Structure 1
Amino acid sequence: MTKKLPHAPFYLRAADATEKLRRRALLGYAIAIGATFIAFVLRLALVDTLPDGFPYLTFFPAVILTAFFCGFGPGVLCAVLSGLLAWSVFIPGSGYQTALALGFYAIIVAVDITLIHIMHEAAQRLRQERAVSESLYDNQSVLFQELQHRVANNIQFIAGLLMMQKRQAIADPSRAIGILDEAQARLQTISRIHRMLHDPGRMDVDIGPYLQEICNDVLDSSGAREVTCVVDFVPAKLDLTRLTALSLLVVELVTNALKHAFGPGQAGTIRVNMRPLDATHYALTISDDGQGMSADADPGAGDSLGWRICQGLAAQLNGRLTYSSDGGTTVRLEFPRWGPT
């Protein structure tokens, strides 16, 4: 399980609270003028209370609050208006002392406004980084759940495969070694397909070259040097679960063609083709120019493990599997373009 991100620090939450207000420039400038007026009125009210030498006492808070809540521009406007009012009303005379007081005021408000602006900029960057982190957490959670689902499906498929091969071994113990070799080969194929599909460097899988690579691996493993495999695929978008099932189906059918379509040393071609059938379905066709099946042959009627595996994989794709034999064997799968939602 993934952990939730900790709560944002207080200053970031405070900056977030002012974000909408700082985006409304006209309102911010209006608030700056209002804050200046309120500070001026308060300073007038305190003329008889405060001793001389505090002309900016009520203006500093107005500038700081305006800059914090309304942004850089309104803060500068409030600082300028406050300085002019303090200079014209609360700083008597002129000369060196007046210039010193105004310089002191300008430095203080400039530092305050600059620090507040830097703080908001830093908060903005933190918000963006936090948004990215939250997105990564969400993606990690989704990917983790999807991985669990895939692993469960794969284990279930392997368990079913081993159960079918166990039944074959029980029915004919003399074939036990060969059946175990077949199981080992199929498990190695599943492992190879998963490594290829989950390679981080191949996140956007082009189905045609990918299946051509898989078919070439099957040919190399079988030692059928005289047989070639031609893959012709239209660009298609399949999620990894469905692409895994499609890959295993292609491998199984190509392997069956190598076993049964061609004699020892016989040359031939296996064609793997996928085209849109209509707006909602694809048609996958795997054909060979080998010896074909006899007229009364029915793969689904016997105890063919390979055909039952193919039927199970077709069911995972919500597809329908058919076959024909005319100058070779052709197996056709029609399946929807999109998986279950």
Structure 2
Amino acid sequence: MRKPKKSLNRISDKTTLLLKFNYVSSFLSLAIGLICTYAFDMHGTIPYVFFFYSASNLLNVLAFNKHKNLMAMAIYTSIISFLGTVVITLYSGGINSPFIFVLGLVVLAGYISTRWFGTIYLYLIISTIVSIYLIDYADFDFIENEVPENVRDLFSLISVLFSVYLLGGVFGKNLLSTHHRLYRSKARIEKSIDEKENLLREVHHRVKNNLQTVSSLLSLQARNTPNEQIKALVRSSQNRVTSMAMIHEMLYVRDNLSKIEFGSYVNELTQYLLRTVERNDQKIKVNLNIPETLLSIDTAIPLGLLINETVTNSIKYGFKDRNEGEIKIELEKRDQDRYVLKISDDGLGYALDHDYKNYNTLGLRLVHNLARQLQGNMERIPSKKGTKYKLVFQDITDQFNP
């Protein structure tokens, strides 16, 4: 299985930084060791530690070229850097040694391998610095300052320059380069996202236009037939198409291209149905109780079709012989991604012993199929007046992408 490009880039950045740290620190350690030996006339532990660090770190790089194990190289570099810095610090003044600041730099080498190792390494170095202070405070005589008094200022200067160059020339420069690369990558990603969003917005716009074209064709077909029953069937199909077109329209005119604000959608849909299905002498109110809820398009489309069927049935049959009435639509969120939709009216209703699932009408059978598509359960709730349905469903996208 191929590693993602982002992961490969991160590994490449770590490798480049660690190799550069090893090469630079090895070269500088060799140079400081030679200065200590020939310029400062030091022949004790300090110059030998510099030479040992330089040689072992270069061997570490050569070994990495064969085994290609970045973590192994990072851990080895961290250990020898830590041990070498502690020894030089102890033999050059302890807590007052200028070389102690190098311990702050080698913490970064620990974080190059893994975060958990870097964290352990951080607390180890903090504990070591405290221990060095306690050794000085206890005034142990077994460790003496090997730096001659006449060159201690120069040794301090070299130590500070060594620390500053590693911090700025290695870590700082590499981090700045990485930051610029990430900034450019972020700009490219944002541009790509904008292009895809515009493309997706255009797709929704075209789908809406195509659905509206289908709706117009159905409307023409309905007007050209004298059969009232066929007209009613065609207009029902037209309303179903329009309910889907509304969703795509809401998607391309709003910022969120994947989620529908369900309350706004139901309000627009029910107002459209009242204008197209309601008789001129009727005054039917729609009472909505829907909190602010975002649903995926895969959930909103079957829900919109289901509401279209139930509200249309209520207007056409529930208030068939009445001039006024009320339809209620309520949405309640049960838990993280579970919802309950209730649709009711105060119309004529029908007998409780009639199973709507087995009705021959396309609308009621469609309601049952849409409920199953939502992987929900549609049931009729007994009521003294009118008809009431309850649908328990789950947002389809949330279910498959937790």
The letter of the residue matching 2:268 is: E
Query: Pick from 244, 255, 279: which aligns with 1:190?
Result: 244
Tell me the equivalent position of 1:17.
Answer: 15
| Aligned alpha-carbon RMSD (Å) | 5.8
Whole-Å separation in 1 of the counterparts to 2:335 and 2:29 = 72
Output the amino acid matched with 2:346: D
Identity %: 22
Q: Secondary structure at the match of 1:333?
A: strand
Preserved contact between residue 239 and residue 273 of structure 2 (Cα < 8 Å): no
**2 CA distance for matches of 1:44 and 1:296?**
102
Q: Tell me the CA shift for residue 228 of structure 1.
A: 1.1
Tell me what 1:38 maps to: 30
- Relative to its length, the structure with more helix (as a share) is 2
Q: Does 1:326 align with 2:384?
A: yes
5 Å matches for 1:16-165?
16-19=14-17, 32=25, 35-40=27-32, 119-129=173-183, 132=186
2-structure distance, mates of 1:220, 1:254: 12
Q: d(CA) in 1 for partners of 2:241 and 2:248?
A: 11
- What SS class does the counterpart of residue 201 from structure 1 fall into? coil
SS of the equivalent of 1:300 reads helix
User: Which deviations, in whole Å up to 9, do the C-alpha atoms of 1:169-200 show, x marking residues without a partner?
Assistant: xxxx9544443332222112211123224544
**Helix, strand or coil at the partner of 2:385:** coil
Contact 1:5 1:134 in 2 (8 A): no
CA distance in 2, matches of 1:327, 1:44: 100
**Equivalent position SS for 2:357:** coil
Deviation at 1:206, TM superposition (A): 4.2
Task: Quote how far apart the aligned CAs of 1:237 are.
Answer: 5.8
TM-score (norm: length of structure 1): 0.55
Once residues 125 and 45 of structure 1 are traced to their aligned partners in structure 2, the CA distance between those partners, rounded to angstroms, is 40
From the superposition, tell whether residues 319 and 129 of structure 1 become closer, same or farther in structure 2 (CA, over 3 Å): same
Gaps of 5+ in 1: 23-27, 48-61, 63-68, 78-87, 89-109, 159-172
Secondary structure in structure 2 of the residue aligned to 1:185:
helix
- Residue 252 of structure 2 is aligned to residue 254 of structure 1: no
Amino acid in the other structure paired with 2:31: A
Higher relative contact order (CA 8 A, sep 6+): 1
Partner SS for 2:343: strand
Given the alignment of the two structures, is residue 286 of structure 1 paired with residue 284 of structure 2, yes or no?
A: no
Deviation at 1:39, TM superposition (A): 1.9
Q: Give the unaligned 5+ runs of structure 2.
A: 40-53, 55-76, 79-100, 106-150, 152-163, 212-225
Q: CA deviation at 1:217?
A: 2.8
Preserved contact between residue 261 and residue 328 of structure 1 (Cα < 8 Å): yes
Matched, 1:300 2:357: yes
Partner of 1:263: 320
SS at match of 1:309: helix
Tell me the matched-pair count: 272
Q: Distance in 2 between matches of 1:191 and 1:302?
A: 28
Structure 2 Cα separation of the partners of residues 236 and 271 of structure 1: 17
C-alpha deviation, 1:239, in angstroms: 3.3
Instruction: State whether residues 339 and 394 of structure 2, in contact with CA within 8 Å, keep that contact through their aligned partners in structure 1.
Output: yes
* 1:244 matches 2:314: no
**Distance in 2 (alpha carbons) for counterparts of 1:200 and 1:185:** 23
Q: Distance in 2 between matches of 1:20 and 1:236?
A: 49
User: Matches of residues 204-219 of structure 1 in structure 2 within 5 Å?
Assistant: 205-219=260-274
* Cα offsets for 1:253-293 (capped at 9, x unmatched): 11221111113771111000123568885332111111222
Q: Deviations over 1:89-125 (max 9, x none)?
A: xxxxxxxxxxxxxxxxxxxxx9999787785354222
Instruction: Identify the residue that residue 113 of structure 2 maps to in structure 1.
Output: none
CA-CA distance at 1:21 after TM superposition = 8.1
- CA distance in 2: counterparts of 1:283 and 1:14, whole angstroms: 51
Aligned amino acid, residue 305 of structure 1: L
Change (3 A) 1:6 1:329: closer
Paired with 2:6 and 2:336, the residues of 1 have a C-alpha distance of: 47
Q: Assess, with a 3 A threshold, how the Cα gap between structure 1 residues 271 and 14 changes in structure 2: closer, same or farther.
A: closer
CA contact (8 A) 1:292 1:325 kept: no
Asked whether the 8 Å contact 1:212–1:230 carries over to 2, the reply is: no
Could you tell me how far 1:232 is from its partner in structure 2?
Answer: 1.0
1:247, distance to aligned residue in structure 2 (A)? 2.4
